[in-house]
Amino acid sequence: MDALNYASDWLDGSLAFRWSCRMGVCGSCGALVDGTPRLTCAAPIPETGEKVVIEPLHNFPVQKDLVVDIGDFMEKLGRVEPWIIRERERALEEGEYPQKPEELEKYDQFSACINCMLCYAACPVFAADKEFIGPAAAALGYRYNLDSRDEGATERLDLLTGGAGAFDCTFVGECSIVCPKNVDPALALQRIKIDAALTSLKSIMRRGK
């Protein structure tokens, strides 16, 4: 990132690139560094002075230089209903929804996503089919299925698997490898498949009665 800022300040003022927090929490600075999706703020320049190639992330329309259009992801994120769904909301007087540490542990890692899009850039399924729901949207949606306060898992499962949904994932696993926040979207996607398969089995057995 320092190199990009140096280039912009001293070499070519027209260079366009996103950056903000400089510490790996805002998710703005995703780019390909020597072919690998990285946060530029987390990718050190080699001390040997070798050439480093920085390119815009794979699989996204390039607006200018290193700036890509992630509007498609924002739409997918909204589609998976990433919020607590309840049959009845508690009134304020009834107090908060208590949650034990073990219950938090279940979905915690999936809530760490910073929407940096490195996982989408690493996914060959998304490369071939831009309709694919993708790792981050799936992980963020699944995070709510795992939340003890949520009651919308069945409905959300349909949203996560519909269209070019979770079942299009072929478990390449690169999404989890490139994630800078140690989210495991590959795990979320496989669990979604398992959950959907089990609920489908149950619904068939219920119909049979």
Partner 1 sequence: MIRVKEPSSYWWLRRRKYIAIFLRELSSVFILSYVLLYLLILAQLESGGRGLVSQFATVPFVGLSITLLAFSLYHSVTWFLLLPRIQPMKIGKVVLSGKLALIANLGGLVVASLLIASLVYGVQILSAR
Partner 2 sequence: MKSKQTLFEALDWGIFSIGGIIAAFLLPANIVVTLLLQQPIPNGPLATLPVLSKLYLFLLLVGAAWHAMHRIRFVLYGFGLSHYRRGVTAASMVALALIIVFALEVISSL
The Cα 115–Cα 74 span in angstroms is 9
Task: Give the shortest CB-170-to-partner 1 separation in angstroms.
Answer: 7
Interacting partner of 76 out of partner 1, partner 2, none (Cβ under 5 to 8 A depending on kind): none
Rounded to the nearest 10°, the torsion over CA 140, 146, 147, 153 is 90
Interacting partner of 174 out of partner 1, partner 2, none (Cβ under 5 to 8 A depending on kind): partner 1
Query: Which stretches of the chain bind partner 1, using CB under 8 A?
Result: 35, 58-59, 62, 124, 127-128, 170-174, 186-187, 190-191, 194
> Both tokens of residue 199?
């609920």
Q: Please say which residue, 175 or 196, places its beta carbon nearer to partner 2.
A: 196
Find all residues with CB under 8 Å of 117, minimum gap 6, and list them: 27, 30, 37, 57, 60, 68, 70, 73, 136
Q: Please say which residue, 184 or 195, places its beta carbon nearer to partner 2.
A: 195
Q: Please say which residue, 58 or 143, places its beta carbon nearer to partner 1.
A: 58
Interacting residues with partner 2 between 131 and 190 (CB under 8 A): 131, 154-155, 157-158, 161-162, 164-165, 167-168, 170
Given the structure tokens 């300040």, which residue do they identify?
9
Interacting residues with partner 2 between 65 and 124 (CB under 8 A): 124
Q: What are phi and psi of 31, to 5 degrees?
A: -160, 170
- Residue 38: strand pairing partners: 31
Interacting partner of 58 out of partner 2, partner 1, none (Cβ under 5 to 8 A depending on kind): partner 1
Q: Please say which residue, 58 or 156, places its beta carbon nearer to partner 1.
A: 58
Task: Give the shortest CB-63-to-partner 1 separation in angstroms.
Answer: 12
User: Contact 107/150 with Cβ under 8 angstroms?
Assistant: no
Longest dimension (CA), the chain: 74
Is residue 20 a contact point for partner 2 (CB under 8 A)? Answer: no
In single-letter form, the type of residue at position 156 comes to: R
Running DSSP on this structure, what letter comes out for residue 109? G
List residues binding partner 2 (CB under 8 A).
124-125, 128-129, 131, 154-155, 157-158, 161-162, 164-165, 167-168, 170, 193, 196-197, 199-201, 203-204
